[in-house]
Structure 1
Amino acid sequence: MENISLEQKFSKLIIAVSILIPVVVAILFGVKLKDFGYNVEPLSFLPPIYATTNGITAIVLIGAVIAIKNGKRKLHERLMTSAIALSVAFLVMYVAYHMTSDSTKFGGEGTIRYVYFFILITHIVLSIAIIPMVLITYVRALSQKFDTHKKIAKITFPIWLYVAVTGVVVYLMISPYYV
C-alpha cells in the first residue's frame, strides 16, 4: 500500500473548501430570507459582534506567534485552533447578518471614500486567498512538517492578521451609516 502523507490526503478537501466557501458566501450574500417568505427580524446586532470577533482573532494570532517564539508549542496550537474557530464564527455571523439585512452603503465622501474601498477590496480579496493558506499551514502542522509549516506560516500570518484587523477597520468606518 502506498504511503500517502496527511497533506496529500487533505489536498483535495483544501481545494474544495477554498473554492466552496467564497462561492457559497457570495451566493448567500445575495439571498434575503424575507424574499423567500421567511418573517425574520434583521440581525442588526451582529456587526459589532463579528467586528469584535475579528479583533479577538487578531489578538489570538499575535498571541500564537509569541507562544511559538517562546517555545510554547501546545499553547500555540490551541491559539491557532481558536483563531480558526473565531474565523468560522465570524463567517457564520457575517452571512447570517447579510441574509437578514440590507447591505449598508458607505456614506463618506472624498479621499476617505477611496481609503475605505481600498481597505474593503483588499480585505475581501485577501480573505479569499487566506482560506487555502490557513488550511495548508494547519495541515502541515498536524503532519508535523514543521519546516514547511514555518515557511508558509511566515506568509499566512501577516495576511491573516491584515484580514482580521481590516475587518475591524471596515466595521468602524461603516458603522456610522448603519440604519
Structure 2
Amino acid sequence: MEVSNLEQKYSKLIIAVSIVIPIFVAILFGVKLRDLGYDVAPLNFLPPIYATTNGITAVLLIIGVIAIKNGKRKLHEIMMTGAIALSVAFLVMYVAYHMTSDSTPFGGEGVIRYVYFFILITHIILSIAIIPMVLITYVRALAKTFDRHKKISRITFPIWLYVAITGVVVYLMISPYYVY
C-alpha cells in the first residue's frame, strides 16, 4: 500500500500535534488563572456540558460506523467530522474548567475507588493515544486511500468510542463530589 502525497504532507503535523496537545494540556491543567492575578469566576457549569459532549461524540461515532457499513459515505463523513469537532470542543472546555476551578477529588471508598481510578487512568492514557490515530484516520480518508483508512479505523474506532464513553462514566462517578 502506497502512502499518498497528502499523508506525507500531514505526517509531521500529525506528529507535532500529537505531542504538543498532551503537553499543552498538562501544563495548562496546572495553571490557575486566579494565581496569575486574573479575577475569573470558576467555570463550574462546564463538567456536565463536556460530559454531554463526550456522550454525543460516542453517538456520532456509532452512527458514523453504521452509515459507512450501509454505504452512506457522506453521512459517515459528517458524523466523523462532527465527532472530531466535539472532541476539540471538549478539550477546550476541559482546559478552561481546570484553569478556573480546583480539581474535584473522588470521594468514593472501597472497590468503587479502584474502579474509578482504573477507568480514569485508562481514559487518560487512551485519550492521548487516540490523537494521532484520529488524525491519521482522517487524513487517509481525505487522501481517499480508503484501504489504509479502513485498516486503521478498525483500531481507532473502538479506542475513540471507549474514550468518549469513559469520559461520561468518569463524570457520572465524580459528579456527586463536585462543589457548585
C-alpha separation between the residues in 2 aligned to 1:21 and 1:41?
A: 25
Q: Would you say the 8 A contact 2:4–2:143 is kept in 1?
A: no
Is 1:139 the equivalent of 2:139?
A: yes
Once the two structures are superposed, the pairs formed by residues 9-158 of structure 1 within 5 Å of their partners are 9-158=9-158
The Cα offsets for residues 22-53 of structure 1, whole Å up to 9 and x where unpaired, read as 00000000000000110000000000000000
Q: Identify the residue that residue 167 of structure 1 maps to in structure 2.
A: 167
Counterpart of 1:123, as a letter, is H
Amino acid at match of 1:124: I
Work out the CA distance in 2 between the residues paired with 1:112 and 1:14: 37
Give, in angstroms, the shift of residue 4 of structure 1. Answer: 6.5
CA distance in 2, matches of 1:98, 1:160: 22
Letter in 1 for 2:63: G
How many residues align? The count is 177
User: Separation in 2 of the partners of 1:48 and 1:4?
Assistant: 41
- Secondary structure of residue in 1 paired with 2:31: coil
Contact 2:4–2:145, Cα closer than 8 Å, also in 1:
no
Normalising by structure 2, we get a TM-score of: 0.97
CA distance 1:42–1:73, shift in 2 (3 Å): same
- 1:176 corresponding residue in structure 2: 176
Unaligned runs of 5+ in 1: none
Structure 2: segments with no counterpart, 5+ residues: none
Rounded to whole Å, the distance in 1 between the matches of 2:160 and 2:114 is 23
> Which runs of at least 4 in structure 1 moved beyond 2 Å after TM superposition?
none
SS in 2 for 1:104: coil
Q: CA deviation at 1:141?
A: 0.3
CA RMSD of aligned residues (A): 1.0
